[in-house]
Amino acid sequence: MKRTSTRLADGREILYFDTADGAARAVPDTRPLDAGLTSSEVRRDPLLGDHVVIASHRQGRTHLPPTKDCPLCPSTPDHASEIPAPDYEVAVFENRFPSLAGDTGRCEVVCFTPDHHTSFAELDEERAALVLAAWTDRTVELSAREGVAQVYCFENRGAEIGVTLAHPHGQIYALPFVTPRTTRMLAAVAAHRDRTGGNLFDSVLATERAEGARVVLEGEHWSAFVPYAARWPYEVHLYPHRRVPDLPALGDAARAEFPRLYLELLRRFDRLFDRADPTPYISAWHQAPTEPGRARADFALHLELFTVRRSADKLKYLAGTESGMEAFMNDVRPEDAAARLREVATP
């Protein structure tokens, strides 16, 4: 893999990831851009203890532009985009409208492909492996930055999810705090360790593999299953069989098997409903906090993939119980969701 780092016109960093060592991507950005102004602020809720990011400058960010004005497509003589090169494989750059910046962290955009009209599910295994390499590279670098407590790689896909750019892309947040979800997981893991002496992540994975009713896909080094208490209509968790804290700690064998299994999962999601448009989803990597210690040693890297679509013509909205009380009500039985995801396997 070749990694090329350069700068955009306003000083933001952009990195190109290529499979071939000979790729030349250091093209100058000739746009007349001024340095962006950000006003990110992290506040803590006194009642819940959760951190909330206030980023009012994002109100003016780019929102669903026409394809000809897409900021994530390669630049052309008629359109200078956020990516100056006329072509690329995978590109990562600092977000122009970041939720987190400076002392509050960093936000990066990950472009999976220069093709505006495709999706992650349509990538080949080599390109998916390159995206995994980019996620890993950024996790290593961002985790080492002062003040970064957790690195979060994710993809939002579909207007129903709320994406503001249609081009296939994801994001990486270098957070100055450990997220509420991870904090709750770690509390449950610590309580399980005190009670049993074992690891809760290991126990969950072993139970799902042994019972099998909710297992969707299984390889030599990874297993994908619908969780016992799934919150979303179709929700799949993908775990490596050997517990590791984050993407950089993955072994070579697990790294090599991941593209095939992950692409199969995404393609099954697109076949869930009898619709011409692709299934909206969120794909989220859960990685351990960066600070060494018991919590990091106990954490298990895993990916959570879910859709807000509950049937061909219905969406799962976060209504009163979910939004108001964080008490989820699922319309689809997890075992039925798993069975459906097995049914739509690649022929």
pLDDT tens-place string over residues 77-106: 999 999 999 999 999 999 999 999 888 999
Largest CA distance in the chain: 64
Instruction: Look up tokens 């999810």; give the residue.
Output: 161
Q: Which two tokens stand for residue 165?
A: 């750019």
Residue 60 has pLDDT above 80, yes or no: no
Active-site residue, selected from the candidate residues 51, 169, 221, 302: 169
Domain residue extents for the chain: 2-175, 180-343
Match domain 2-175 to its CATH number in 3.30.428.10, 2.130.10.10, 3.30.70.1110, 3.30.310.50: 3.30.428.10
Strands 150-157 and 234-240: unpaired
Residue 5 has pLDDT above 90, yes or no: yes
Whether 180-343 and 2-175 are alike in CATH topology: the answer is yes
Query: Is 169 noted as a catalytic residue in this protein?
Result: yes
Q: What value does the mean pLDDT take over residues 33-57?
A: 89
Residue 38 has pLDDT above 80, yes or no: no
d(CA 270, CA 190): 37
* Confidence at residue 169, expressed as pLDDT on a 0 to 100 scale: 98
* Confidence at residue 166, expressed as pLDDT on a 0 to 100 scale: 95
Q: What value does the mean pLDDT take over residues 266-283?
A: 95
pLDDT level of residue 346 (50, 70, 90 thresholds): confident
pLDDT level of residue 285 (50, 70, 90 thresholds): very high
With b for 16 or more beta-carbon neighbours within 10 A and e for fewer, the 249-262 pattern comes to: bbeeebbebbbebb
What's the chain's Rg over C-alpha atoms? 20
pLDDT level of residue 62 (50, 70, 90 thresholds): confident
Directed axis angle between helix 125-143 and helix 252-270, to 10°?
120
Answer positive or negative: Cα dihedral of 108, 286, 320, 275.
positive
Is 314 in a helix, a strand, or coil?
Answer: strand
Residue 35 has pLDDT above 90, yes or no: no
pLDDT level of residue 306 (50, 70, 90 thresholds): very high
CB–CB of 63/164 below 8 Å? yes
d(CA 119, CA 152): 21
Question: What is the reported pTM?
Answer: 0.96
* Confidence at residue 68, expressed as pLDDT on a 0 to 100 scale: 94
pLDDT, tens digit (0-9, with 9 covering 90-100), for 122-144: 999 999 999 999 999 999 999 99
* Confidence at residue 59, expressed as pLDDT on a 0 to 100 scale: 79
pLDDT, tens digit (0-9, with 9 covering 90-100), for 175-215: 999 999 999 999 999 999 999 999 999 999 999 999 999 99
Across the chain, what does the average pLDDT equal? 95
CB–CB of 282/306 below 8 Å? yes
Structurally, at CATH architecture level, domain 180-343 sits in 2-Layer Sandwich (3.30)
**Which residues 6+ apart lie within 8 Å of 347 measured at CB?**
none
* Confidence at residue 242, expressed as pLDDT on a 0 to 100 scale: 98
φ, ψ for residue 51 (rounded to 5)?
-90, 140
Q: What value does the mean pLDDT take over residues 36-42?
A: 81
83 beta partners:
74
pLDDT level of residue 228 (50, 70, 90 thresholds): very high
* Confidence at residue 124, expressed as pLDDT on a 0 to 100 scale: 98
CB–CB of 110/135 below 8 Å? yes
235 beta partners:
306
Residue 347 has pLDDT above 80, yes or no: no
* Confidence at residue 56, expressed as pLDDT on a 0 to 100 scale: 84
